[in-house]
């Protein structure tokens, strides 16, 4: 049962990535790679890639938001023009396409941005309560954290690997 978490703090990305590489090579039983997390003060795509391919669904949210914004925007405006905002047009169309294109363009962007932000919050797991996860303020400063969730036996092996790579400090907790 994966009921323990261990967080090792490293001085730099090189040490952290060396520890992750050895973790991979060790092929520990009960170590689920989806339960290995890097915590860092800056983004580092190269080190993140050591964890394997992980999905980034943001663009799907963006596409959905932009299409919804543009589509519903145009339909909403056209419906309003055709019904309760109907004006005497003097032979001109009730639903004029050029002006509506401008408004649809704005709604396209508005929908895209709003749903992208929503998608970001959902995909990044925000907002979240920090009490539910191991954390060290040094990650905000200048240290790189590698967190593993597994069982007690596996965590002992992980601790050994961390120590071989000059870990600065280790925190552990039992997951309730």
Partner 1 sequence: MNSVTQAKDKDIREDLSWSQINRDVLASLERPRATYWVLFALAFAVFLVGLGCEAYQYDTGLGVSGMNNPDVWGLYIATFIFWIGMSHSGTLLSAILHIIHADWRKPIYRFAEAMTTFSLMTAGLFVAVHLGRLWEIYYALPYPNERWTWPNFQSPLLWDAMAIFTYLSSSILFLYVGAIPDFAICRDYATGWRKTFYGKLALGWMGTDRQWRNFRVSYLVIACFLIPLAVSVHSIVASDFAMSQQPGWHITSFPPYFVAGALYSGCAAIITLFIILRHVFRFEEYMTLPILDKTARLTFAIAMVWTYLNCIEYATVWYGDSEVAKETLMQRATGPYSVYWWAMNFLGSVLPFTLIFKKVRANLSAMMVISLLLNLGMWLERWMIVTPTFSHGYYPWTWNHSFFPSLVQWGIVFGSFGWFGMLFMLFCKLVPSVSMYEVKEMVFHRKLARLHASQA
Cα–Cα distance for residue pair 129/49, rounded to 1 Å: 26
Which of 56, 72, 152, 175 touches partner 1 (CB under 8 A)? 56
The yes or no reply on residue 113 touching partner 1 (CB under 8 A) is yes
Nearer to partner 1, 142 or 156 (CB): 142
User: Which residue, 156 or 173, has its beta carbon nearer to partner 1?
Assistant: 173
One DSSP character per residue, 29-72 reads TT--GGGEEEE-SS--HHHHGGG-----THHHHHHHHHHHHHHH
How many whole angstroms separate alpha carbon 160 and alpha carbon 18? 13
- Is 156 an interacting residue with respect to partner 1 (CB under 8 A)? no
Nearer to partner 1, 8 or 119 (CB): 119
Q: Which residues pair with 6 in a beta bridge?
A: 148, 172
Is 85 one of the binding residues for partner 1 (CB under 8 A)?
A: yes
Q: Quick one: 138 or 170, whose CB is closer to partner 1?
A: 138
State how far the Cα of 74 lies from the Cα of 111, in Å rounded to an integer. 12
Q: Does 68 bind partner 1 (CB under 8 A)?
A: no
The stretch among 22-30, 47-55, 154-162, 163-171 that binds partner 1 (CB under 8 A) is 47-55
CB of 121 to partner 1, least distance (A): 8
Which distant-in-sequence residues (6+ apart) come within 8 Å of 120 by Cβ? Answer: 58, 61, 126
| Alpha-carbon gap, residue 19 to 32, rounded angstroms | 16
Contact 108, 72 (CB under 8 A): no
What is the contact surface with partner 1 in residues (CB under 8 A)?
37-45, 48, 51, 54, 56, 58-59, 62, 77, 81, 84-85, 87, 96, 99-100, 102-103, 105-107, 109-110, 112-114, 116-117, 119-121, 123-130, 133, 135, 137, 139-142, 145
């Amino acid at each position: 049962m994966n009921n323990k978490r261990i967080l090792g703090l490293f001085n730099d990305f090189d040490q952290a990535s060396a520890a992750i590489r050895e973790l991979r090579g060790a092929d520990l039983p009960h170590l689920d790679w989806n339960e290995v997390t890097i915590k860092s003060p800056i983004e580092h795509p190269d080190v993140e890639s050591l964890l394997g391919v992980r999905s980034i669904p943001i663009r799907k949210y963006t596409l959905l938001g932009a299409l919804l914004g543009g589509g519903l925007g145009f339909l909403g405006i056209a419906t309003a023009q055709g019904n309760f905002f109907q004006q005497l047009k003097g032979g001109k169309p009730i639903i004029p396409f050029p002006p509506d294109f401008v408004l649809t363009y704005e709604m396209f962007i508005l929908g895209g941005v709003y749903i992208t932000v929503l998608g970001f919050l959902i995909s990044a797991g925000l907002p979240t309560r920090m009490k539910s996860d191991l954390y060290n303020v040094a990650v905000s400063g200048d240290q790189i954290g590698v967190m593993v969730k597994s069982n007690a036996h596996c965590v002992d092996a992980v601790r050994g690997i961390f120590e071989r790579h000059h870990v600065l400090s280790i925190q552990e907790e039992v997951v309730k």
